[in-house]
A and B are shown apart, each in its own frame.
Chain A
């Protein structure tokens, strides 16, 4: 399939096929693929680039999963470097951030699969955070964690989500998708939930009115065809539920984990993946340039290759920094707005649901 033929489909608004996706990944000229993705991005969002003011809380790094791609987890609670935040400690982090006077709109919570904590710990965490800041949106627990809770505590996925929702859960982050392929998951994260299970958690959440995001961790052992398949699975799911708000391509970081002999995806590969995602996922509203993972300069450039969101102020990100990310651990909102402007886009502050909070100052 030629790029001209793909461009014609894009102009007509026709969904791209698996073969189209592979052709976009293999096209020799990154600039042409980027320019096409930029057309779609500007058709959907103009020159707006959104971001939010959020706080990341990682309640624990104790995790039974032992994924090869992870630099963050500890197998047992007594292992060196293992931690579990108390609910009070998590609330203190939120209070400390609120005390700065910042207009925080979201707390993002993801952690390890700790098999020694009661379910009440997680509901208690949500309700305590909600009580502390009732107006703040709680985006918590990846589908992998939700599925783990379902198994560990003997509840259906739906019941697990309902109880978390009752405690204050507003939306799900998109993590743990890695590559939605049995072959890849067996190779890099065999003890995580499977692709069908990951999708089922999101489908159930969407049915309950809980929106979510979707990620793709690329650059480990997957083929380009498997990347495209991943995108098509998400697009198919979105066609049924419309619950995905954003897609977040995450390049693999090789430091300090069992896949460290593999090179990290280059900036060109990151931009191409952002662009292909924008072109394939025509029914997903937003594509994120997650600056923590891709780096600031690449994130700025990605705003011209299909991305329309810069993620948030973050603060205290641990998972990518354990894997060698060189980015800061937080950026003030004003700094994010400046970086977006310097990239020739118009910054707009949003909330978790992508509602405009304010024009960035």
Chain B
């Protein structure tokens, strides 16, 4: 679906929002994430609930087992072999759903169909994370999130504010996302100097983003617990 063929993007948005609210009873989630970098360093709050490694970093890190040894507890991937290995290692798996602004609709549909098949084979998967390759365009990103919600009606569809920015990340909550990932902590540095382009959020700011999008804000805590705020 593109704007050229479907100028009323509200149709997709309305359907995605309704499906999300139905699937999660009007709740949306946020979770603090830290990320293992290809050089072995970590970014994000040390006390983050989710310690994530992206499969694109695995080669430099020496593989999944090495990443786990360095503290990663979750992996973001779209390769079935990586997902299976991660499950075998007891790691949480999130499905990476890449997209590129302006790519043909047919390519997207085929990719999402393949990812959906993989998702069905792995019922323990934690959710689907749309990841823009290159620049995230406003409308295109929202449309892709709506497509993900249509394709994964019961899954957590996650907007990663580190990739999308705070504003676009929040808007995704109106187009099919039900969860925000970010560098979320009790306090953050002012966005000045080296922090000028940081997308770090405080817990209060994350909760505000969720509430302002019309959801009940829920924070994911360690050991799978959830706190309704």
Instruction: Using CB atoms and an 8 Å cutoff, list the residues of chain A in contact with chain B.
Output: 28-31, 34-35, 38, 47, 255-256, 260, 263, 266-271, 294-301, 303-304, 324, 326, 339, 342-344
- Residues of B155-174 whose CB lies within 8 A of A: 164-168, 170-171, 173-174
Those of B165-209 within 8 Å (CB) of chain A: 165-168, 170-171, 173-174, 190-192, 196-197, 204-205, 208-209
- Which 7 A-B pairs give the minimum distances between C-beta atoms? A344-B3, A300-B138, A297-B138, A267-B167, A297-B168, A266-B212, A35-B10
Which of chain B's residues have a CB closer than 8 A to the CB of A263? 204-205, 208
Residues of A within 8 A of B3 (CB): 343-344
Task: Report chain B residues within 8 Å CB of A28.
Answer: 214
Contact (Cβ within 8 A) A344 B7: yes
Find chain B residues with CB under 8 A from A343 CB: 3, 137-139
Q: In the bound complex, do residue B139 and residue A342 qualify as a contact, i.e. CB atoms below 8 Å apart?
A: yes
Question: In the complex, A34→B170 CA distance in Å?
Answer: 16
On whether A342 and B171 interact (CB within 8 A), knowing A255-B190, A269-B212, the answer reads no
Is B102 in the interface zone, CB < 8 Å from A? Answer: yes
Contact of A271 with B137 at beta-carbon distance under 8 Å, contacts A35-B10, A266-B208, A304-B10 already known: no
CB pair A295 B7 closer than 8 Å: no
**Residues A297 and B141 in contact in the complex (CB < 8 Å), given A256-B190, A268-B174, A344-B4:** yes
**B191 A297 Cβ-Cβ under 8 A:** no
* Total of A-B residue pairs, C-beta within 8 Å: 101
Determine if B139 and A301 form an interchain contact, defined as CB atoms under 8 angstroms apart. yes
For A299, the chain B residues whose CB sits under 8 A away are 138
**Chain B 114-148 per-residue mask, 1 if CB under 8 angstroms from chain A, else 0:** 00000000000000000000001111111000000
**Which positions in B face A, CB cutoff 8 Å?**
2-4, 7, 9-10, 13-14, 17, 101-102, 136-142, 164-168, 170-171, 173-174, 190-192, 196-197, 204-205, 208-209, 212-214
Can you offer 8 A-B residue contacts whose CB atoms are under 8 A? A28-B214, A34-B10, A267-B171, A268-B212, A294-B167, A301-B138, A303-B139, A342-B101
Whether the Cβ atoms of B137 and A300 lie closer than 8 Å is: yes
Q: Which residue of A lies closest to B2 (CB)?
A: A344
Q: How far is the CB of B201 from chain A (nearest CB, A)?
A: 10
Q: Which residues of A contact B7 (CB under 8 A)?
A: 47, 344
Asked if B190 and A260 sit within 8 Å, CB to CB, the answer is yes
Q: Are A344 and B17 in contact (CB under 8 A)?
A: no
Q: Is the CB of B165 within 8 A of A326?
A: yes
Kindly list chain A residues whose C-beta atoms are within 8 Å of the C-beta of B170: 266-268
Q: Which residues of A contact B101 (CB under 8 A)?
A: 342
Most buried by B among A35, A260, A266, A324: A266
- A contact residues around B10 at 8 Å (CB): 31, 34-35, 38, 304
Residues of B within 8 A of A271 (CB): 171
In the bound complex, CA of A217 to CA of B4 (Å): 34
Report if A31-B13 is in contact (Cβ < 8 Å); known contacts: A267-B170, A297-B165: yes
Q: Tell me which residues across on chain A come within 8 A of B2, comparing CB atoms.
A: 344
Tell me whether B168 and A267 are in contact (CB under 8 A): yes
CB contacts (< 8 Å) of B139 on chain A: these are: 300-301, 303-304, 342-344
Q: Chain B's nearest CB lies how many Å from the CB of A260?
A: 7
Residue of B nearest to A30 (CB): B174
**B138 A296 Cβ-Cβ under 8 A:** yes
User: B213: shortest Cβ distance to chain A, in Å?
Assistant: 5
Closest CB-CB distance, A347 to chain B, in whole Å?
14
Q: What is the chain A residue whose CB lies nearest that of B14?
A: A31
Q: For residue B9, which residues in chain A have a CB less than 8 angstroms away from its CB? A: 304, 344
Contacts of B138 in A (CB 8 A): 296-301, 342-343
Give Cα distance in the complex from A301 to B143, angstroms. Answer: 11
CA distance A42 to B73 in the complex (A): 49
Contacts of A326 in B (CB 8 A): 165, 191, 196-197
Contact B174 A31 (CB under 8 A): yes
- The answer to whether B192 touches A256, judged by C-beta atoms less than 8 angstroms apart, is yes
Question: In the complex, what residue of chain A is closest to B198 when comparing beta carbons?
Answer: A326
User: What is the CA–CA distance of A343 and B135 in the complex, to the nearest angstrom?
Assistant: 13
The distance from the CB of A88 to the nearest CB of chain B, in whole angstroms, is 31
When the two chains form their complex, are residues B167 and A342 in contact, meaning their CB atoms are under 8 A apart? no
